[in-house]
Amino acid sequence: MTHPTEWKILLIDDEEGIRRVMKITLADAGYQVWTAPDGESGLRLCEDISPQIVVTDIRMPGMNGIQVLEAIKKAYPDIEVIVATAFGEMDVTIRALQLDASDFITKPINDEALHVALDRAKHRHTTRKQLQDHTRFLEQGWDQTTRELMESFVFQRNLIESSMDGILGCNVQEMVVTFNRSMERMLGYAKKDVLNHKTLGQFFSPGEERRFRGELAGEKYGGPNRLFMFETGLRGDQGQTIPVQVSASVLFNEAEPGGLVCFFRDLRDIRKLEREVADQARILHQDKMMSLGRLAASVVHEINNPLAGILNYSRLMSRIIGRGPLVEERRNKFVQYLDLITNETDRISQIVSSLLTFSRKSPSSFGEVGVAELLERCILMSRHKLELSHIRLEHQIDPDIPKIKGDFNQLQQCIINLIFNAIDAMPEKGTLTLTGNYDLEKRRVTITVKDTGAGISEENLSHIFEPFFTTKKEGYGVGLGLSTLFGIVQRHDGTVEVESRLGETRFVLGFDAKGGVQK
């Protein structure tokens, strides 16, 4: 291994402070270090000092890091290039790796990550040089000793077996005579089943083999009888196609082909990065649509329902005033209704404010929720609407029902939505039953809303929690209530069960009592 002081490193970065700090760090580690403020001067230094390793920033004015990488690999293919990227520049990183960058590090640059990347680059540079020396040795006419050298234990262990890239060598009959550990890991074949048993063509599909041979004989990827960074696919032991990048060279003996050596780089990690980029875009799109659903639900329900309550109480107050002077009993009701209107107006104000700051929406306000208080508030809010719809209310709440953890307003909205849905399901009057129970053994709180409406058909039952699905007539809702309810209950680690038949529909919400369920 080359001594640290014999390693020349060139740093290319347009920020002087970064160049200065990295130069001090690497010089302290024993490297010879040069710096350049831009790609053009960096390329001139490559010609003057012949560094083994170049570390270049991606984002630079003028010639960017990708252009620097391409120029270096074209003019000085033996130089290892490490690219420095900003966090999240996954597409640029993938492009750099495809152009045979040795490695990448993210800014701000961590010293440990930098030294790990340098060690990898040094290993690649040393291995590449040793393999080139061996290839030149074979090309100088030593064909008689080729097989002995390829099967040599020292050669395999020190050069071929330690390579991070897969190395496959074959003789003039194209029988495989070299198959290193990286090839075994890449394709899944054991060396003993490959050496002198398989030919090169058996690792390609017919179409890819023809393409490989055509490009090997052509000028596009390095000239006749040579390939440089050609992308293709190999067949693994399970028949799977493995994407690879291959560099290959035909070996000659006195102007006659004497074999072929191929260096394969596994591209599955790069493909994985590409899929992650695509997945990130898909997840962001899904999240945007979910946010849109929550926004629409907030507009339709969280504002409309409080407004309906305010309207009902305003009408009741008008009736009270119309009955004459405010005696003590009427005055108490009047004050009670004003308090409710004030509270609901304040809640609408909070909802509007949260919609205006939707992009930086804060987490829900979770705390202890008294279930009895929650249900009593819902009853108070909906009692008069039930009376106006000629619906009888029955309710039973366990007196010792414990508290649950949650957001009071969100849970209230869930129950109000269920009550209003029940009212819509009973246009000709009926009975609504609201219960709150506690299972001491399971430490489980259940809230049940049951109506005596027409019921939900079996074909619709499996769709009722889907956004925008509704069986209501136009003007009676857009179908977001139950999907919103389902989302809220999930965020509370709760469950929603529904049973329906002609004349009865029952929704059951289940929550762990505060402190969790005993196992």
- Mean pLDDT by 10-residue block, N- to C-terminus, for the chain (519 residues)? 72 88 88 93 92 90 89 90 76 80 81 86 85 65 50 59 84 88 91 90 87 86 81 90 89 78 87 69 44 47 72 80 75 81 77 46 70 84 76 89 86 82 87 93 92 84 64 43 75 88 91 60
Distance of CA 69 to the CA centre of its chain: 29
- Per domain, the residue ranges of the chain are 4-130, 141-266, 276-362, 365-519
pLDDT at 511: 93
**Cα-trace Rg, the chain:** 37
Return d(Cα 57, Cα 106) in angstroms, integer: 10
pLDDT at residue 447, rounded to an integer: 95
Structure-token pair, residue 289: 């649509």
Helix orientation angle between 90-98 and 268-297, rounded to the nearest 10 degrees: 160
Integer distance in angstroms from the first to the last C-alpha of the chain? 60
Nearest to 208 by CA among 175, 237, 246: 246
pLDDT for the residue numbered 88: 57
160: closest CA among 135, 141, 142?
135
Q: Which of 61, 106, 62 is nearest to 83 (CA)?
A: 106
Sort strands 444-451 and 504-512 into parallel, antiparallel or unpaired: antiparallel
Strands 404-406 and 430-439: unpaired
Give the C-alpha distances (Å, rounded to integers) separating 68 from 87, 265, 346, 414, 515.
20, 22, 60, 59, 60
- H-helix or E-strand spanning residue 436: strand 430-439
Superfamily (CATH) of domain 365-519: Histidine kinase-like ATPase, C-terminal domain (3.30.565.10)
Q: Which residue has the tokens 């027409």?
A: 454
Angle at 157 between CA 155 and CA 163, to 5 degrees: 95
Output the CATH code of domain 276-362: 1.10.287
Q: List C-alpha distances in Å: 108 to 14, 57, 84, 320.
A: 14, 11, 9, 70
Smallest CA-to-CA distance from 81 within 60, 54, 51 is with: 54
Residues 6+ apart with CB under 8 A from 50: 8, 76
CA distance 325 to 442: 54
How confident is the model at residue 474, as a pLDDT? 42
Query: pTM here?
Result: 0.35
Q: Where are the beta strands (DSSP E) in 271-325?
A: none
Q: At what angle do helices 16-28 and 111-139 cross, to 10 degrees?
A: 70
d(CA 492, CA 510): 10
In sequence order, what E strands does 74-208 have? 80-86, 103-107, 166-170, 176-179
Q: What confidence score (pLDDT) does residue 481 get?
A: 59
* Contact yes or no for 434/395 (Cβ under 8 A): yes
Determine contact, residues 395/503, Cβ cutoff 8 Å.
no
Look-up: residue for tokens 């014999």?
A: 6
pLDDT at 517: 36
> For position 451, what pLDDT does the model report?
93
Q: What angle do CA 195, 224, 125 make, to 5 degrees?
A: 65
CA 247, CA 244: separation in Å to the nearest integer? 10
Task: Say which CATH class 4-130 falls into.
Answer: alpha beta
pLDDT recorded at residue 359: 38
Tokens of residue 56, six digits: 């270049």
* Fold: same for 4-130 and 276-362: no
Alpha-carbon torsion 60, 65, 70, 72, what sign? positive
Of 213, 176, 179, which is closest to residue 198 (Cα–Cα)? 176
The span from the CA of 425 to the CA of 504, in Å, is: 10
Site of tokens 């639900």: 297
Distance CA 131, CA 264 (A): 13
Facing residues of 235 across strands?
A: 241
Closest CA to 341 of 289, 384, 398: 384
**Residue where the block lists tokens 């005055």:** 331
Assigned CATH for 141-266: 3.30.450.20
* Of the candidates 248, 235, 509, 516, the residue with the CA atom closest to the CA atom of residue 371: 509
Cβ atoms of 26 and 33 within 8 Å: the answer is yes
